[in-house]
Amino acid sequence: MVFTASGVYHEFVPNKKITRTFEMGNAPFDVQLEFLEFEALDEDNSKLTMQIIYRSGALRDQMLKLPFRQGLNMAHNRLQEVVNKLK
């Protein structure tokens, strides 16, 4: 599946939170609202909590059938590898 991604950042608080929308063009999915919260655990570690709101449970279920969850985990793991090299 080839798609374009778009969205709007509604709130950005450095080192604390991001609120944004995300939408895939060329795909049969509706816009989603995302809340990302960052929490410092110690000097070297932090926790990211993501909450994604869909217009309906059916749309959520449709998205969960796709491999995005696995891809998102892979992207976050890769980002962690890059950050570790910066230390």
Average pLDDT of every residue of the chain: 86
Phi, psi of 4 (to 5 degrees): -105, 150
Number of structural domains found in the chain: 1
pLDDT for residue 69 is more than 70:
no
Looking only at the bridges linking them, the beta strands covering 9-13 and 17-25 are antiparallel
Confidence band for 7, pLDDT divided at 50, 70 and 90: very high
pTM: 0.75
> Cβ distance 34 to 60 under 8 Å?
no
**3 CB contacts (<8 Å, ≥6 apart)?**
24, 25, 26, 27
> Cβ distance 56 to 66 under 8 Å?
no
Interval 15-44: pLDDT, tens: 899 999 998 888 777 899 999 999 999 988
> Which domain covers residue 16, as residue numbers?
4-86
The enclosing domain of 75 has a CATH number of 3.30.530.20
